[in-house]
Amino acid sequence: MPHKILEKTRLNSVMWKIVLEAPLVAKSARCGQFVIVKIDEKGERIPLTINDFDLKKGTITIIFQEVGTTTKRFGCLKKGDSVKDLLGPLGRPTDFGEAGKIILIAGGVGIAEILPIAKYAKNNANFVLTIIGSRSKELLILEEELKKYSDKLIVTTNDGSYGLKGLVIEPLRDTLAKEQFDLSYCVGPDIMMKAVSEVTKACNLKTFVSLDANMVDATGMCATCRVTVGGKTKFVCVDGPEFDGHLVDWDRFIKRQKRFVDEEKRSLELFKSQHKECIYRGGEDG
């Protein structure tokens, strides 16, 4: 069953927000879960976090960044087009419930993934402090939406074009030096999740991270997404995507994430040579 793209909005030069027709997924989806999208016959099976879902309309919202060939090709689809295959919801749902004071940290496209967590945290009567960071003002997304679910929101940009200049790690350190928290939750680039986990570990603050790993079936069958957590091999697809950030073997995980970089480059070059019109469309929507 193909899934129609009902809405497509450009969030910035590399990120899209897409509302997909997906009544079955919308019905079962819970916070923290993801879907596998395979846009067409030749596409990869890519895991994407369910950013939002609407039971009545039978839709799910996903936000993604154009990185590799499949996501770039996804970006080329227009409103009214369909994605061929969609599987979900997958992964264990978020269930930290009422934890008390929570600090959320997100970076890059991870900000899209922290939004449902913020919503969940707020709905479960937690105090929510959110720190988000992006490379520049242009790449920053969902600030207004996150304000709704955060008691306090701190924004950083690497280049200082908006909010505090620098990385999320600095305001995180400052905040933790002043205040006690009960839980932290981080989604973003692997290197950021690693750094955040190191900081929170030093002050013994329980930290969940939501890992984004390369997957194939995403049902526990291929084990390509395996990660070492607390000395044990876990599968991100079925045991995660949430893990205790203090227990993740980050160096191993980060190296594993790079295992197809050469192939990805090759694939992208081929794509660019074949799809000039699509790539260079510029800021146009849908």
Partner 1 sequence: MAKTRMREQDPLARIRNFDEVALGLTEEEAKNEAARCLECKKAACVGECPIEIDIPTFIQYIAKGEFENALNKIREKNALPAVCGRVCPQEDQCEKACVLVKKEGAVGIGDLERFIADWEIANNSKLKTPWPAEHKSQGRQNSKLEKRKLKEKVAIIGSGPAGITCAGELAKSGYDVTIFESLHKPGGVLTYGIPEFRLPKRIVDVELEYVQSLGVKIEANFLVGRTKTIDDLRKDGWRAFFIAIGAGLPYFLGVEGENLNGVYSANEFLTRTNLMKSYLFPEYDTPIKVGSIVGVIGAGNVAMDSARSALRLGAKKVYIIYRRTEFEMPARIDEIKRAKEEGVEFALLTHPVRFFGDENGWVKETELLKNELGDPDSSGRRRPVPIKGSEFRMKLDTVVCAIGQGPNPLLARTLTNLKLDEDGNIIVDKNHMTSIEGVFAGGDIVTGAATVIAAMGAGKKAAQAIDRYLKG
Instruction: Enumerate binding residues for partner 1 (CB under 8 A).
Output: 1, 24-25, 27-28, 38, 42-45, 68-70, 73, 84-90, 216-217, 219-224, 226-228, 233, 238, 251-252, 255-256, 258-260, 262-264, 266-267, 270
Choice between 13 and 28, CB closer to partner 1: 28
Q: Where in 108-211 does DSSP place strands (E)?
A: 127-134, 152-157, 164-165, 183-187, 207-210
Q: Rounded to whole angstroms, how far apart are CA atoms 121 and 31?
A: 10
Choice between 28 and 136, CB closer to partner 1: 28
The distance of closest approach from Cβ of residue 150 to partner 1 in the complex, given in angstroms and rounded to an integer, is 30
Question: Which residue in 119, 115, 124, 140 sits closest to 49, CA to CA?
Answer: 115
Choice between 123 and 219, CB closer to partner 1: 219
Choice between 54 and 170, CB closer to partner 1: 54
The distance of closest approach from Cβ of residue 49 to partner 1 in the complex, given in angstroms and rounded to an integer, is 15
The distance of closest approach from Cβ of residue 254 to partner 1 in the complex, given in angstroms and rounded to an integer, is 8
Q: Where in 116-263 does DSSP place strands (E)?
A: 127-134, 152-157, 164-165, 183-187, 207-210, 226-229, 232-235, 242-244
Choice between 43 and 166, CB closer to partner 1: 43
The distance of closest approach from Cβ of residue 38 to partner 1 in the complex, given in angstroms and rounded to an integer, is 6
Q: Rounded to whole angstroms, how far apart are CA atoms 186 and 105?
A: 5
Q: Rounded to whole angstroms, how far apart are CA atoms 32 and 50?
A: 7
The distance of closest approach from Cβ of residue 166 to partner 1 in the complex, given in angstroms and rounded to an integer, is 29
Q: Rounded to whole angstroms, how far apart are CA atoms 123 and 144?
A: 17
CA atoms within a 13 Å half-sphere pointing along the CA-CB vector of 48: 33
Q: Rounded to whole angstroms, how far apart are CA atoms 87 and 217?
A: 10
Choice between 123 and 233, CB closer to partner 1: 233
The distance of closest approach from Cβ of residue 8 to partner 1 in the complex, given in angstroms and rounded to an integer, is 20
